[in-house]
Amino acid sequence: MKALIDGRWHGDLDSDPGLRARFDAAPRQGFRDWVRAGGAAFPAAAGRYHLYVSFACPWANRTILYRKLKGLEDAISMSVAHPSWGGPEGWRFADTELSTRDHLECRDTLHRVYTDAESGFTGRVTVPVLWDKQTRTIVSNESGDIIRMLDREFDAWGDASVRFYPDRLKAEIDALNTLIVPDVCMGVYKSGFASSQENYDRAVAALSAALDELEARLAGRDYLLGARISEADWHLFMTLVRFDAVYHPRLKCTYARLVDYPNLSRHTRRLYELPGVAEVIKLDHVRIHYFDDLGLGNPRVLPAPPARDFRDAA
């Protein structure tokens, strides 16, 4: 694990059990402020906010996607970290084919962005980050909050007709998210990072039960709510578009592949083909990231066998 403790960067916490214990005991810090149209602390504005992202990360990728679909590329600037996170510095910025420099302050690592915002920060250094150029701080490092800000707070500069979390559908979307986020979006990580066979078996069972339920729900429907695309579709999409490339082979989600689910495959393809979407999905970044050193220290956890065996009819 890599993290900041009291503002000091540690590129390999697990090599020092004392430090790791200190980190585990420390209260977690994070940034959960909110940009609001007409707000006082962080008012929505064009040119004021900046995203630090990685195309490899599904959470950051959602913010990149919303920025694109809401037409906010001119209003909110963006720097892209290199997909290879496994080195001693974690997320890094540089002008390369796969990354950009930090356009704002030429910092070469994301951990410097965090300590510039909070010099004594303790916590993991994650993408995405929404940075406020005016107060030189991080507004939020929680993608679920950031996409909702982009969805409605920047309408003066973006496409107000695009809305993925409308008031009248919030309850239905929240109910779907309650299944999709913990069992699918997080489920692939719970599977891949499980440190015991028991935890792995539980994660992979919950994941496949959720996928079966969503497959059934999508029978005869274009999107999870019917004809209208919502936030829940994008949560699901960001995981499924990576599924066969990395989650199946690398995070031991081996029970079935996306292509084994006709409705989920159709749903993923339908979203992928919408204008603007394919441009922000970069499977080369995704593959580099997930086959990099992610600290998957569980070689003894045995992946599930495929659900479909050779006796199944073709």
Q: Name the nearest CA neighbour of 90 among 189, 186, 12, 27.
A: 12
Contacts with ligand GSH by CB under 6 A: the residue count is 12
CA max distance for the chain: 64
Could you say whether residue 253 binds ligand GSH (CB under 6 A)? Answer: no
Shortest CB 59 distance to ligand GSH, Å: 4
Q: Is 59 in the site for ligand GSH (CB under 6 A)?
A: yes
Distance CA 207, CA 212 (A): 9
Q: Are 23 and 15 in contact (CB under 8 A)?
A: no
Quick count: other Cβ atoms within 10 Å of Cβ 90? 22
Residue span binding ligand GSH (CB under 6 A) among the ranges 70-78, 122-130, 213-221, 273-281: 122-130
Residue 307 near residue 256 (C-beta atoms within 8 A): yes
Does residue number 2 form part of the binding site for ligand GSH (CB under 6 A)? yes
Residues 67 and 298 sit within 8 Å (Cβ to Cβ)? no
Q: By CB under 6 A, is residue 57 in contact with ligand GSH?
A: yes
Nearer to ligand GSH, 247 or 261 (CB): 247
Let me know: does 219 contact 263? Beta carbons within 8 Å.
Answer: yes
- DSSP-based three-state secondary structure for 9: strand
Distance CA 314, CA 312 (A): 6
36 binds ligand GSH (CB under 6 A): no
Q: Does 102 interact with ligand GSH (rule: CB under 6 A)?
A: no
Which residue of 127, 139, 204, 207 would you call a contact of ligand GSH, by CB under 6 A? 127
Q: Catalytic site residue 189?
A: yes
Tell me if 124 contacts ligand GSH by CB under 6 A: yes
Helices (H) and strands (E) in the chain, counts: 11, 6
String of contacts with ligand GSH for each residue 135-154, x by CB under 6 A: ------xxxx----------
According to the binding rule CB under 6 A, does residue 177 interact with ligand GSH? Answer: no
Listed ranges 120-128, 206-214, 230-238, 244-252: which one lies at the site for ligand GSH (CB under 6 A): 120-128
What is the closest distance, in whole angstroms, from the C-beta atom of residue 81 to ligand GSH in the complex? 9
Q: What residue ranges bind ligand GSH (CB under 6 A)?
A: 2, 57, 59, 124-128, 141-144
Residues taking part in catalysis: 57, 189
